[in-house]
Amino acid sequence: MQRKRLARAKVFGSEEFPHIMGEVGFTDSPLGVWVACELTNLPKTESGFFGFHLHEGDKCEPKTEPYFEEAKGHYNPKKTVHPKHAGDFPNILAASGGYAKLFFLTDRFKVSEIVGRSVIIHYLPDDYVSQPSGSAGKRIACGKIMPALKI
């Protein structure tokens, strides 16, 4: 039996949103990579939606505003236009209490290609039109993707 590759990112909020926390997990499968995201304490916004992307960089240091700039831009190894970047994910919808859970499948990368990169939660939803990254607004949370145990 072949072991599945796993990775995960512990997500934490910026100084402005210090209570945001959660985890994003990645699991290779024959169909692609399953991505499972669970977040708590997302802020109340007009739409309730938040942009969610895989970024090129390997650092999630909030430092000062603008936060998490060292995470760089969207992961885009094939140099495609937005929203066809490998790092373009569905928007996250938070419940009224700031809780969100999202589960989806992507065939745009393998787990081995994203370990060491980062995930970013943005304050606004991705509009899937604006170039180069969907006008998703400021970065409010980040998590570095690390290898996890194989099953």
Residues 6+ apart with CB under 8 A from 97: none
Dihedral of the alpha carbons of 88, 33, 36, 2, in degrees to the nearest 10: -160
Contact 98, 44 (CB under 8 A): yes
Q: How many domains is the chain partitioned into structurally? A: 1
Strand partners, 54: 119
CATH number at residue 114: 2.60.40.200
Q: Does residue 1 belong to any structural domain of this protein?
A: no
Cα–Cα distance between 121 and 36 in angstroms, integer? 14
CB atoms near residue 56 (< 10 Å): 18
Contact 141, 19 (CB under 8 A): no
- Domain, as residue range, for 136: 6-147
Q: Does residue 46 belong to any structural domain of this protein?
A: yes
Per-residue pLDDT tens digits of the chain, which is 151 residues long? 455 779 999 999 999 999 999 999 999 999 999 999 999 999 999 999 999 999 999 888 877 778 898 889 889 999 988 888 899 999 999 998 999 999 999 999 999 999 999 999 999 999 888 877 767 889 999 999 999 865 5
